[in-house]
Amino acid sequence: MGLGQHLVELRKRLMIAAAALIVGMVVAFFVTDPVIYLITEPIRVVAEARGESGRVELMFSTITSGFDLRLRMSFAIGILISAPVWLWQIWAFVMPGLTRKEVSYTVGFLAAAIPLFFAGAYVGLLTMPHIVELMNQFVPEGGASFYDAAYYYDFVFKLLIVVGVSFVLPVFLVALNFAGVMSGMAILKGWRVAILVSVIFAALATPAADVVSMLMLSGILVVLFFAAAGISLLFDRRKAKRDAALLLADEPVL
């Protein structure tokens, strides 16, 4: 295919992906209520715990803030709903230019990265109520907590994305090993740096006073790092055996 044909193909794929996203957003707009109820559960828990001592409410400060919040949520949920379509469009555009080996590596990468991302987002969802409850303890007795709806949603959304992406980073290490950029031993030798980075990242992703969430998140990231190092070492060992067997097969027989 020439450059013009590639551009036409790309435009076709993008239009299909955009149409799927729009449909996903329309569907998502009507299911935002359960999502809002889910992410605001910590606010209800805090309000019940404080009782008459102080108000805890989700605040919509402008006339259109309710609609704006649902629109932003629809976009995020629509991306997830339409993911099978736009992922397939990307794959269908890229796959003809890949070798069989590259195709197998890409499939393996996606098969590991997608579940890990959602697992990370789920861990973030479990951590989020604890963070909200802990931070609310610093509100003085008799004080009122009014959470701006847009800010609250941004906090939850960014937390889920950041934790989800952090769970996928070990897969990138394995991909670099498969590509021959880093050996498994080189990855393993960086375990001290990995632990330090995991703790710093967990400290930044969670409030400073929430030690439990920080330790839980950093512990999971450290386990994922060592799992990536172990897989890379196994791959290196298998590759070394295969190369040795090929070398012996190429030796001349006396």
- Tens digits of per-residue pLDDT, 181-213? 788 888 888 888 888 888 887 777 666 566 777
Q: What is the pLDDT of residue 22?
A: 92
| Terminal CA-CA length for the chain | 51
pLDDT at 180 over 80: no
User: Would you state the pLDDT for residue 51?
Assistant: 65
Average pLDDT estimate for 152-172: 84
* Residue 56 main-chain phi, psi, to 5 deg: -135, 110
Q: What's the whole-number mean pLDDT along residues 156-177? A: 83
What pLDDT shows up at residue 241? 81
Q: Is 251 a residue whose pLDDT tops 70?
A: no
Mean pLDDT calculated for residue range 162-187? 82
Write down the pLDDT at residue 54.
Answer: 58
Instruction: Inform me whether the pLDDT recorded for 5 exceeds 70.
Output: yes
**Residue 73 contacts residue 35 (beta carbons within 8 Å):** yes
Cα 236 to the center of its chain, rounded Å: 27
Percent of residues, the chain, with pLDDT higher than 90: 2
Alpha-carbon gap, residue 77 to 251, rounded angstroms = 59
Q: Compute the mean pLDDT over every residue in the chain, rounded to the nearest whole number.
A: 81
* Per-residue pLDDT at 49: 72
- 3 state SS of 145: strand
pLDDT at residue 139 above 80? Answer: no
Q: What is the pLDDT of residue 106?
A: 77
Query: Taking each helix axis from N to C terminus, what angle separates 191-205 and 149-178, rounded to the nearest 10 degrees?
Result: 170
Q: Which two tokens mark 187?
A: 């990855």
pLDDT digits (tens, 9 = 90+) for 33-60: 888 888 888 888 777 776 655 567 788 8
| Average pLDDT of the residues in 167-188 | 82
* Residue that is written with structure tokens 């935002």 in the block: 32
Helices (H), the chain: 3-29, 32-39, 41-50, 65-81, 83-94, 100-136, 149-178, 184-189, 191-205, 211-250
Mean pLDDT of 3-14: 80
DSSP code string of 114-137? HHHHHHHHHHHHHHHHHHHHHHHT
Whole-angstrom Cα distance, residue 38 to residue 11? 37
pLDDT at 171 over 70: yes
Which DSSP symbol is given to 95? G
**pLDDT in the model for residue 205:** 67
Q: What is the mean pLDDT of residues 15-43?
A: 88
pLDDT of residue 52: 56
Q: What is the DSSP string of 158-171?
A: HHHHHHHHHHHHHH
Average of per-residue pLDDT across 61-81 = 87
Torsion angle of the four alpha carbons 158, 164, 170, 171, in this order, in degrees rounded to the nearest 10: -120
Nearest-10 crossing angle of helices 83-94, 3-29: 170
Beta strands 56-59; 145-148: pairing state: parallel
Counting residues of the chain whose pLDDT is more than 70, the rounded percentage is 89
Residue 94 phi, psi dihedral angles, 5° rounding: -85, -35
Angle (nearest 5°) at CA 148 between 143 and 161: 120
State whether residue 63 is helix, strand or coil: coil
pTM: 0.74
DSSP-derived secondary structure letter, 179: T
